[in-house]
């Protein structure tokens, strides 16, 4: 089932109140105010994606549900794929900062292990939505593929830290290999989490990271 509405049909917003001269919503900035927000758009999108499936949902559908035009959708998100990633980039900056602020006394591997667990620690209230979001990403081929590009930024953060701490170039084999390896076991941890209904993410992730830290040979 596809959107019946043709490309340029009339969308309809929730008719937000828009009295003249400042609803003091604007920060004093000139220009028309955005009709929606990235977060609001994401909310609508995730609902439809879960309901109909990612592939079966068109950008038209999402835009219509959010009451905006298709063209406008692409001003909030560069692609349909990008909608599902939420605050990832901002969140990643937090991890970068945390790593940078780590005491040099803490071993590299330990620091990474902690940082990664922190990065993946969400308020309990968000557990369910986090789980649903990750299920979408990890089980939709198009999103799996796209995720590589997001993961690359994550790996860059890890590699940067390893490079700084071991006096190597960020592009060198060791930092990159470590970043790849940590990414890998973390994703494997996520898959394990998703495969088991009531499971807790953090212990699983810790176990996955432990496989690396303790050495694969000793873990098998």
Partner DNA sequence: CCATCTGTGGCACTCGGTGTCATAGATGGG
Partner DNA sequence: CCCATCTATGACACCGAGTGCCACAGATGG
Q: Which residues bind DNA (CB under 7 A)?
A: 2-3, 7-11, 13, 18-22, 26, 28-36, 57-60, 67-72, 74-76, 78-81
Q: What count of other Cβ atoms lies within 10 Å of the Cβ of residue 7?
A: 9
CA–CA gap between residue 155 and residue 210 (Å, rounded): 18
Q: Is 13 in the site for a copy of itself (CB under 8 A)?
A: no
Which of residues 35 and 202 has its CB atom nearest to DNA in the complex?
Answer: 35
Q: Is 62 in the site for a copy of itself (CB under 8 A)?
A: no
Which one of DNA, a copy of itself, none is in contact with 203 (Cβ closer than 5 to 8 A by kind)?
A: none
Binds a copy of itself (CB under 8 A): choice among 15, 125, 173, 197: 173
Helix H segments across the chain? Answer: 38-52, 59-66, 70-76, 88-100, 108-119, 127-139, 141-166, 173-195, 201-213, 216-219
Which one of DNA, a copy of itself, none is in contact with 160 (Cβ closer than 5 to 8 A by kind)?
A: none
CA–CA gap between residue 104 and residue 83 (Å, rounded): 37
Which of residues 135 and 181 has its CB atom nearest to a copy of itself in the complex?
Answer: 181
Q: How far is the CB of 131 from DNA (least distance, A)?
A: 24
From 181, 191, 121, select the one nearest 155 (Cα to Cα): 181
First-residue to last-residue Cα distance in the chain: 48
62 neighbors 44 (Cβ within 8 angstroms): yes
Q: How far is CA 157 from the centre of its chain?
A: 15
Which of residues 71 and 207 has its CB atom nearest to a copy of itself in the complex?
Answer: 207
Q: Is 206 in the site for a copy of itself (CB under 8 A)?
A: no
Which of residues 36 and 120 has its CB atom nearest to DNA in the complex?
Answer: 36
Which one of DNA, a copy of itself, none is in contact with 118 (Cβ closer than 5 to 8 A by kind)?
A: none
């Amino acid at each position: 089932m596809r959107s019946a509405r043709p490309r340029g049909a009339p969308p309809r917003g929730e008719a937000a109140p828009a009295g003249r001269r400042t609803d003091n919503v604007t920060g004093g900035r000139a220009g028309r105010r955005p009709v929606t927000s990235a977060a609001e758009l994401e909310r609508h999108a995730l609902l439809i994606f879960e309901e109909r499936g990612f592939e079966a949902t068109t950008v038209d559908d999402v835009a219509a549900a959010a009451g905006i035009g298709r063209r406008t959708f692409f001003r909030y998100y560069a692609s349909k794929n990008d909608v599902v990633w939420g605050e990832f980039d901002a969140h990643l900056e937090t991890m970068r900062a945390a790593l940078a602020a780590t005491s040099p006394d803490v071993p590299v591997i330990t620091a990474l292990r902690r940082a990664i667990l922190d990065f993946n620690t969400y308020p309990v209230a968000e557990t369910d939505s986090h789980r649903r979001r990750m299920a979408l990403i990890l089980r939709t081929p198009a999103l799996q593929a796209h995720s590589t590009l997001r993961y690359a930024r994550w790996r860059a953060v890890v590699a940067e830290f390893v490079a700084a701490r071991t006096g190597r170039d960020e592009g060198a084999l060791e930092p990159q290999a470590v970043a790849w390896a940590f990414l890998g076991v973390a994703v494997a941890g996520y898959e394990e989490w998703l495969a088991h209904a009531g499971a807790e993410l953090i212990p699983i992730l810790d176990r996955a990271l432990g496989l690396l830290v303790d050495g694969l040979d000793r873990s098998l």
